[in-house]
Amino acid sequence: MARITAGLATSHIPAVGAAIDLGKTAEPYWVPTFAGYEWTKKWASAEGKPDDVILVYNDHASAFDMKCIPTFALGCAEQFAPADEGWGPRPVPVVKGHPDLAWHLAQCLILEEFDMTVINEMDVDHGLTVPLSLVYGQPEEWPVRVVPLAVNVVVYPPPSGNRCWALGEAIKRAVESFPEDLNVQIWGTGGMSHQLQGTRAGLINADWDNDFLDGLIGESDRLRHIPHIEYLRETGSEGIEMVMWLIMRGALGRRTRMLHRHYHVAASNTAVGHIVLEPET
Ligand code: DHB
Ligand code: FE
């Protein structure tokens, strides 16, 4: 049987990807950002190495636009190319999928009444590739297969935190009914507090962000009830990306244990947050 062995969440700031691609990670501005991923990189190359990652992220008008806005879309293809976001595709490997696992997830989730969109062709943008770079560096090939789960958090209305948490719970059941013996991780990306435009551009709420990180650890499920308006008011217009972390948290079961945690302001205009969790039975 397949099992979810860990959950990881991280911001997916495009400038962080560019710093990696352009060899700038040792520059003083970037050192505190990347220092918080050193523990994770070591762990990910040893006991924290899964077969597959279910990678929850949002597309930023790269694969989808106003013509088509799936709330939850599962990438079922053999592979996913890095998207061209205006400066050419990032110089990172093609992302290898896992169609058997992805279709199994689609079947289980849809029969559990989550109306997933099945995607058989999709380029993946910084939302998905920056987290891979943060954890795996600059390899020739990514060391894991990835099932992309794209969530709409760009166009109103995004799914509620409660719905995201419940989807995570259903993903846990779906993974555990996959017959192969697989070590699966689930990652949530985006956040933490950020607003990229308007008069509140650059808004950071470190107290709120750290309270959100606290809420992912242990047994409480208080985070699932945070309304959209609170993300918007407290964490800026793009802070709503954090509902994707709740899919990851929901998939870890009743109780979690923290393995690692990192928070840094500022890289770009955005608070960098990162956490690694284990399900605790
Ligand atoms: C930034 C952060 C994001 O999550 C994103 O999708 C785009 C930009 C930023 O901080 O610059
Ligand atoms: Fe984003």
Exposure class string for 94-104: b at 16+ Cβ within 10 A, else e: ebbbbeebbeb
Q: pLDDT at position 130, please?
A: 98
Distance 83 CA to ligand 2 centre (A): 14
Query: What is the distance between the alpha carbons of residues 109 and 113, in angstroms, rounded to a whole number?
Result: 6
Distance 148 CA to ligand 1 centre (A): 19
Nearest CA to ligand 1 atom 11: 268
Please write the tens of the pLDDT for every residue from 109-144: 999 999 999 999 999 999 999 999 999 999 999 999
Torsion-angle region of 253 (φ positive above 0: left; ψ -120 to 50: alpha; else: beta): left
Helix (H, G, I), strand (E, B) or coil at 133: helix
In the DSSP assignment, the letter for residue 84 is B
The confidence band for 266, taking pLDDT boundaries of 50, 70 and 90, is: confident
Q: Is 126 a catalytic residue?
A: yes
Amino acid letter, 137: G
Exposure class string for 204-236: b at 16+ Cβ within 10 A, else e: bbeebbeebbebbbeeeeebbebebeebeebbb
Ligand 1 binding pocket, CB closer than 6 Å? 12-15, 60, 190, 194, 196, 238, 241, 268-270
pTM equals: 0.98
What residues does 149 pair with on adjacent strands? Answer: 56, 74
For residue 249, with 0-12 CB atoms within 10 Å meaning exposed, 13-18 middle and 19 or more buried, which class applies? buried
Query: What is the distance between the alpha carbons of residues 200 and 67, in angstroms, rounded to a whole number?
Result: 29
Backbone angles phi, psi at 49, to 5 degrees: -100, 110
Mutate to test the pocket of ligand 1, among 30, 193, 195, 196 (most ligand atoms within 8 A of CB): 196
Please write the tens of the pLDDT for every residue from 12-29: 999 999 999 999 999 999
Crossing angle, helix 14-21 and helix 126-136, to 10 degrees?
50
Q: pLDDT at position 47, please?
A: 94
The confidence band for 150, taking pLDDT boundaries of 50, 70 and 90, is: very high
Q: Is 60 a catalytic residue?
A: no
Q: pLDDT at position 268, please?
A: 81
Q: pLDDT at position 73, please?
A: 98
Please write the tens of the pLDDT for every residue from 69-114: 999 999 999 999 999 999 999 999 999 999 999 999 999 999 999 9
Please write the tens of the pLDDT for every residue from 166-184: 999 999 999 999 999 999 9
Nearest CA to ligand 1 atom 9: 13
> Which tokens belong to 75?
């990438």
Peptide bond into 192 cis (omega under 30): yes
Q: How many residues does the chain have?
A: 281
Nearest CA to ligand 1 atom 5: 13
Helix (H, G, I), strand (E, B) or coil at 97: coil
